[in-house]
Chains A and B, each alone.
Chain A
């Protein structure tokens, strides 16, 4: 199914060729922001809203 010379390096090269730096930056920023908000933000309103979720997911950092 895959050509034998297909490698992780090729995939990175292909992604680099077809995506602009801005697209990558926006994507990484969105994923990081959502991950950070769900996992780590301690602001009381967000913390208390996500309280049951964080306990259910085993995120004990609060």
Chain B
């Protein structure tokens, strides 16, 4: 049953992963390397691997990043959550992609926005790791709340449904207010930091859009229909 769903998720993941790997290869690697010229030594004597290793491993990391979300979000997540996703066809995929983006990147970025190399952050790494992980959980919960709000108001007028569906996003303000201050310092010009951040945002948006597009293009497996008669209990 799920094999077909997993396969489609994995295929979407391959499509999204290769696209994102290409993004890292063309934009990410050179942009990051360029920004490193603003770094004033890490105090550790430079990276422990060669530049070529970083270049190749980062492209590979980008491919795996897409494959991971393809399998986990569109393979498993889509199968389990499909009945609750709004709309039909591509709309369902876009809703799921939006929830994925919010969980993995959107919510964490509200407290820990992407920082280019050359910008030092005041909070210690462990603290930031914990906050990043915690905010992923918050993002997932808010996405579920948005889905529930949609379900409860689906019969109302379009405006009411849209407003109610988006309302839980306001909850994201809570961790932003509670988070400890994280002053940064560095010599990267503000305009360059902004360009870098938006590049990162559009990169992740591209990844999720590609996952959704490939998955929608693959269509719905015929097994959804056949599966309905599958006994719910094994005994």
Are the C-beta atoms of A53 and B58 separated by less than 8 Å? yes
Determine how close the nearest CB of chain A comes to the CB of B82; give it in whole angstroms. Answer: 7
Instruction: Name the A residues within 8 Å of B232 (CB-CB).
Output: 10, 13-14, 17
CA distance A17 to B227 in the complex (A): 12
Determine how close the nearest CB of chain B comes to the CB of A41; give it in whole angstroms. Answer: 10
Determine how close the nearest CB of chain A comes to the CB of B61; give it in whole angstroms. Answer: 4
Interface residues of A (CB under 8 A from B): 1-3, 6-8, 10-15, 17-19, 27, 31, 34-35, 38-40, 42, 44-45, 48-62
**Is the contact region of chain A dominated by helix, strand, or loop, or is it mixed?**
helix
- In chain B, residues 30-78, which have Cβ atoms closer than 8 Å to a Cβ of chain A? 31-33, 35, 44, 47-49, 53-55, 57-59, 61-62, 64-65, 68, 71-72, 76
Query: Which among B111-119, B156-164, B166-174, B209-217 touches the partner chain?
Result: B111-119
The answer to whether B122 has its CB under 8 Å from any CB of chain A is no
CA distance A34 to B35 in the complex (A): 27
Please give me the residue from chain A that is nearest to B207 by CB atom: A57
Please give me the residue from chain A that is nearest to B116 by CB atom: A55
Are the C-beta atoms of A56 and B113 separated by less than 8 Å? no
Interface residues of B (CB under 8 A from A): 1-2, 23-24, 27-29, 31-33, 35, 44, 47-49, 53-55, 57-59, 61-62, 64-65, 68, 71-72, 76, 79-84, 88, 105, 109, 112-117, 121, 125, 128-129, 132-133, 197, 199-201, 203-204, 220, 224-225, 227-228, 230-234
CA distance A1 to B219 in the complex (A): 12
Are the C-beta atoms of A60 and B121 separated by less than 8 Å? yes
CA distance A53 to B28 in the complex (A): 7
Q: A1-B225, A55-B116, A61-B128 are in contact. List 12 more A-B contacts (CB 8 A).
A: A1-B220, A17-B230, A17-B233, A40-B132, A48-B47, A51-B58, A51-B117, A52-B32, A53-B58, A57-B28, A57-B203, A60-B113
Are the C-beta atoms of A58 and B114 separated by less than 8 Å? yes
**Given A18-B230, A39-B132, A50 and B61 contact (CB-CB distance below 8 Å):** yes
